[in-house]
Structure 1
């Protein structure tokens, strides 16, 4: 972490937590991730045709990822030269502290009002599983799991790469993470074309995911044992760390089988407590806020250590 990038990361975290990406701005100017997604979609349509061999699809996926990351890094370099608060504002575009809190808090409010249909609709905006059949506990579990996993993808990992590599590092991470979410799947259509995106995303999240898990456990005053025991059971090499830490810190059980498009999918369980209830979701939000504060402190200490 160099001194300038550390200060930029801390300033961006603070500003984004306060302002986020306002809805009025979003209606007028789509978030830059939309542009990255358009580049990836264009590459997929051109280079992932059914008549191509698996090897050619894999090469096409590598080329699409490289081109998208290249555009993102160039944009990061340009944004680094903006005058005044420009770089800080540009950095907030890669962070999601406030939006993540707002989306999960909307689920909590609906559950607290005993409005299960509204809660299902709210959680359906942040998870991919089938939500129509979830009871209140299932909705709370889905929201907590999304909060834990997205704490890494939307907060810790972007801040990590911002602190390490400035705006080019942040934007490169967002390009890779966006590509993974769009094409890094195991279905036949994506298996070869999305291989590079999935593997690169795994590598870029190795350190941040473990940091995210540690921050959650520290913020919750526990969860270390569950995290170290259960994180490796997740299909992803990274997603299990903050999720297992959250389960341990709250004393609840997360994970387990869920349905996607009507098909039940087996998943490991994290933790050894009861299934979460509505109050556990509110506790998870409090823990999340504390973990974000610890991240700010970590970035600040890292910047001070570098100066010495």
Structure 2
């Protein structure tokens, strides 16, 4: 555990400093995109037939992803060995975290929102949310970005870090594979409702503990929000998404959730917190809370490495 915690601390710091180099992204893409292509290929081949057949195929997708991602992580760990190989393992593991990229994406929304360039802010927020953004006002843009920031703190930072600490690189890569599957096929619609059910349930399980940790870290970083988190998290459509979102709402003293639309169809997200909706200033505060929460995560991992 000590060695793994030390490696994780190095991974967290390296990813925050380096991110994922643009030259690599242009040359070979991102590992998450490789996983996505595998999921899309399985979906094309297996997502057909009756409901029971689709559900069974969806379970097979999860098993394949865990085997491929976990096996890849095991092989890399074995090949890296010790010494300088650990540095290679750390660099590979940074591809499973999103501290830097999440910060970059939210800042890309915040900059034009602060200057009143709503069109540019809508384009920027469309890169990180699935809802319709073309008609969002300042509050709508800030709301979408704040919710994405809070939820992605769990999905993109705490969950992969947690599973690295539990199971090393195989755990981190398996976590990312399941999270990607949920994003792509874990939807409750006619096409994916049966096929993506196993991916959605697996993602719920993977994020069960990290979501609660994320909410606590956000509440500590924001100087409040515990009461809101405990009161409102259970109302979220996801068993996990409400924890970091409600904590962020409470820390900001703003209300998240409410009416949205996807592909022109209206939808409703359970309200998290009380007060007015967020604006550009609140999004800036949310970003500061996020950064402090990341630092708190580093501190916890460092303490684990020191005390183990």
TM > 0.5 between the two?
A: yes
1:241-300 CA-to-partner distances (Å, cap 9, x unmatched) read 000000000111111010111111011111112111111111111111000000111111
Match 1:215 to one of 210, 214, 217: 217
1:57-88 CA-to-partner distances (Å, cap 9, x unmatched) read 11111112211211101110122132241110
Runs of 4+ in 1 over 4 A off after TM superposition: none
Query: Residue in 2 aligned with 1:60?
Result: 57
TM-score by length of 2: 0.97
Q: How does 1:247-286 map to 2 (within 5 A)?
A: 247-286=249-288
Secondary structure class of the residue paired with 2:261: strand
Secondary structure class of the residue paired with 2:266: strand
Query: Residue in 2 aligned with 1:70?
Result: 67
Give the RMSD, CA atoms, in angstroms. Answer: 0.9
Q: How does 1:84-95 map to 2 (within 5 A)?
A: 84-95=86-97
Assess if the C-alpha contact under 8 Å between 1:79 and 1:86 holds in 2.
no
Q: Unpaired segments of 5 or more residues in structure 2? A: none
How many corresponding residue pairs? 303
The Cα of 1:34 is off from its aligned counterpart by 1.1
Assess if the C-alpha contact under 8 Å between 1:40 and 1:65 holds in 2.
no
The reply to whether residue 24 of structure 1 matches residue 23 of structure 2 is yes
Assess if the C-alpha contact under 8 Å between 1:255 and 1:270 holds in 2.
yes
Q: Unpaired segments of 5 or more residues in structure 1? A: none
The Cα of 1:304 is off from its aligned counterpart by 2.7
Query: Residue in 1 aligned with 2:121?
Result: 119
Secondary structure class of the residue paired with 2:156: helix
Query: Residue in 2 aligned with 1:13?
Result: 12
Query: Residue in 1 aligned with 2:170?
Result: 168
TM-score by length of 1: 0.97
Q: Distance in 1 between matches of 2:181 and 2:280?
A: 33
Deviates more, 1:215-224 or 1:271-280: 271-280
Query: Residue in 2 aligned with 1:198?
Result: 200
